[in-house]
Amino acid sequence: MQSGNRDNYFIKVHLPLFLVQVCFGALPIYSKLAFRTFGPGFLAFARIWGIAIVFALVFFIFQRERVKEKSHLLRLAVLALFGVTGNIYFYLKGLQLSTAINATIIVSSVPIFTLIVALVLRQEEFSLGKLIGVLVAFSGVSNLIDFSGFKMGGYLWGNLFIILNSFLYSIYLALVKPLLKIYKPFTIITYVFIFASIEILPLTFGDVFYFNFGPVKFADYYPLIMVLTVGTLIPYLLNSIALKSAPASFVAIYVYLQPVMAAIMAVFMLGEIITLKMAISALLIVCGVTIVRFPKLFLFSGKKFSKE
């Protein structure tokens, strides 16, 4: 790959995906802070409606790309159900009922789910390099997080909701790829959030309608605003940009950077210290991502393994 192409790929894929994980790494922190005032249903409604309004205003004023076929509207509605409505709602419900460490561990299953979904849909094929890259990256997560802290019994429903969140998001990553060849990323993400704003109503209407704003102080809105912007608007847009130029499984593998990003932010926000264990984990995660993207650098032939 020539130097110009490498720089272009870095800007279009690696940089957006890195920033996505920074944003998603901060999401559990600000969500937990927001839970002190707002419930998960209210937070899910606010995330989806807030971003849908912003995206719709920008889209219909500046871009206005038309949907070419009516069947594409149905596909966008399905994408909204998996990638936004179900993804956001079950993640927040799970985060409230479980712990941050459980959520971080479970979210690491996204690349595995994505590979399975992409294989079933025949969008991608397994390769030795891809499989080893996933295992190497997962070993980094395992080293970073003490799995003895994973408590299934006391947080059963929360953990199940987060697993469901990971699975739904994996389906979204696989299904959105074909439409990205037809429409601009911002067009897709705008319609997805518009449809999601309708789909979320039955799940959250009671939480919003009966919410008492009286005791809410001005400072209580800060974590809510951070969830809407840093935790939702920015990463969803950047993820769509990256998906246009990279395979869904490669986008998903970057999820392994979330624990590292969370650890780094904890140093500044919580006063924690980066240990040798964290540094080793970061190295393993980066190696895993590199193996998936450049298997030949690690002497893997890139031989594909299909279902046949």
Whether 304 maps to a domain, the answer reads no
Whether 292 maps to a domain, the answer reads no
Whether 265 maps to a domain, the answer reads no
Whether 305 maps to a domain, the answer reads no
Which CA distances in Å does 277 have to 24, 140, 182?
A: 22, 9, 44
Q: How confident is the model at residue 298 (pLDDT cuts 50, 70, 90)?
A: low
Stretch 253-279: mean pLDDT: 69
- What share of the chain in percent tops pLDDT 90? 21
Q: How confident is the model at residue 74 (pLDDT cuts 50, 70, 90)?
A: very high
Q: Which residues of 12-25 are buried (b: 16+ CB within 10 A; e: fewer)?
A: ebbebbbbbbbbbb
Question: What are the backbone dihedrals phi and psi of residue 225, each rounded to the nearest 5 degrees, phi first?
Answer: -65, -40
Domain count, the chain: 1
Whether 137 maps to a domain, the answer reads no
Task: Tell me the C-alpha distance between 194 and 200, whole Å.
Answer: 10
Q: How confident is the model at residue 80 (pLDDT cuts 50, 70, 90)?
A: very high
- Half-sphere exposure of residue 152, counting CA atoms within 13 Å on the CB side? 4
Which CA distances in Å does 132 have to 116, 137, 262, 301?
A: 15, 9, 24, 12
Whether 41 maps to a domain, the answer reads yes
Task: Tell me the C-alpha distance between 265 and 275, whole Å.
Answer: 14
pLDDT of residue 140: 74
Stretch 275-285: mean pLDDT: 74
How many CB atoms lie under 10 A from the CB of residue 244? 17
Whether 270 maps to a domain, the answer reads no
Maximum alpha-carbon separation in the chain: 63
pLDDT digits (tens, 9 = 90+) for 116-156: 777 777 766 767 777 787 788 777 766 765 555 555 555 77
- Answer whether 126's CB lies under 8 Å from 115's CB: yes
Q: What is the 3-state secondary structure (H, E, C) of the chain?
A: CCHHHHHHHHHHHHHHHHHHHHHHHHHHHHHHHHCCCCCHHHHHHHHHHHHHHHHHHHHHHHHCCCCCCHHHHHHHHHHHHHHHHHHHHHHHHHHHHCCHHHHHHHHCCHHHHHHHHHHHCCCCCEEHHHHHHHHHHHHHHHHHCCHHHCCCCCCHHHHHHHHHHHHHHHHHHHHHHHHHCCCCHHHHHHHHHHHHHHHCHHHHHHHHHCCCCCCCCHHHHHHHHHHHHHHHHHHHHHHHHHHCCCCHHHHHHHHHHHHHHHHHHHHHHHCCCCCHHHHHHHHHHHHHHHHHHCHHHHCCCCCEECCC
- What share of the chain in percent tops pLDDT 70? 75
Distance of CA 51 to the CA centre of its chain: 15
The range of the structural domain enclosing residue 193 comes to 3-126+150-251
Q: Angle between the 40-58 and 221-228 helix axes, to the nearest 10 degrees?
A: 50
Task: Tell me the C-alpha distance between 200 and 206, whole Å.
Answer: 11
Whether 282 maps to a domain, the answer reads no
**Tokens (6 digits) for 49:** 């409606």
How many CB atoms lie under 10 A from the CB of residue 129? 22
pLDDT digits (tens, 9 = 90+) for 14-59: 788 888 888 888 888 888 889 989 999 999 999 999 989 998 998 9
Distance of CA 118 to the CA centre of its chain: 17
